[in-house]
Amino acid sequence: MKKDIILSGVGGQGILSIATVIGEAAIAAGLHLKQAEVHGMSQRGGDVQSHLRLSDKPIFSDLIPRGQADLIIAMEPMEALRYVQYLHPNAWIVTASEPFVNIPNYPDSATLKKNLDAFPNVVSRNIEALAKEASLPKSANMVLLGMAASHIAILTPEQLRAAIGRVFARKGERVVADNLKAFDLGRDAARQEIEPES
C-alpha cells in the first residue's frame, strides 16, 4: 500500500508541523517515507508545498509524478488548486475554505469555490473559524490534519493522534491537549462535510 500526499499553503500556516506529524506516525508504523524539500518556508506569506510519500514498500523518488497524487492537504484554497495537476482521477482534496490573500490579483471566493467544486472529492471547511470557536487559534493546521485523517488511509487516526502527542510533547501537556482537541475537531468537521445532517 502507498499514499502520495501533497501538502500546500503559505509560509507561517503550519504546513511543516503537519508534515512532521505524518512523518512521525509513518516512522513509528514502520513505513517507508520520502519527503521532497519544503519550498517557501523562509518567506512568511509565500507559497509552501511539499511532496510526502508513504509506502509499505521501498520508495525510489522523493517527487510525486503528475497525475499520481492520492491527496492534497491545503491550508489555503488557491494553494490547493495550484497543485491539482498532480492528482489522479479518484484523489481527494482536503482544504481550508477561507483564502489567505497574499497577492494583488488573488481570485475572488466564488471563483475559487467553483473551481474546487469541479473536483469529485473535496472536503473544505473554514478551519480558522473552527479553531477560534474552540479557543484553539494556533491549532488550525491540526484541524486540517484531522479533516484529512480518514483519507490518509495508510495511517489510522489513532496513529496520527499518537504522533501528535510525541511531536508536541516538548511543548507541554497543554499544547499536546490543544492539538489533539483540534485534530478531533477536524475529524468531526470532515464527517459533517461528507455526511451532512438532514
pTM: 0.91
pLDDT tens per residue across span 42-80 = 455 567 889 999 999 999 999 999 999 999 999 999 999
Looking at residue 192, its pLDDT comes to 79
Q: Tell me the percentage of the chain whose pLDDT exceeds 90.
A: 76
Reported confidence tier of residue 197, pLDDT bands at 50, 70, 90? very low
Q: What are phi and psi of 58, to 5 degrees?
A: -55, 145
Q: Which domains can be identified in the chain, with CATH numbers? A: 2-194 (3.40.920.10)
Task: Report the distance separating Cα 170 and Cα 185, nearest Å.
Answer: 23
**Which one is predicted more confidently, 87 or 10?**
87
pLDDT band at 115 (very low <50, low <70, confident <90, very high): very high
pLDDT of residue 37: 64
The three cell numbers of residue 89 are: 482521477
- pLDDT for residue 18 is more than 70: yes
**Calpha distance 36→40 (Å, rounded):** 13
CA torsion sign, 26 to 73 to 21 to 45?
Answer: positive
129-172 pLDDT, tens per residue?
999 999 999 999 999 999 999 999 999 999 999 999 999 999 99
Cα–Cα distance for residue pair 13/179, rounded to 1 Å: 14
Selected residue with higher pLDDT from 15 and 179: 179
From 143, 6, 140, select the one nearest 73 (Cα to Cα): 6
Per-residue pLDDT tens over the stretch 96-110: 998 887 777 888 888
- pLDDT-derived band at 196, boundaries 50, 70, 90: very low
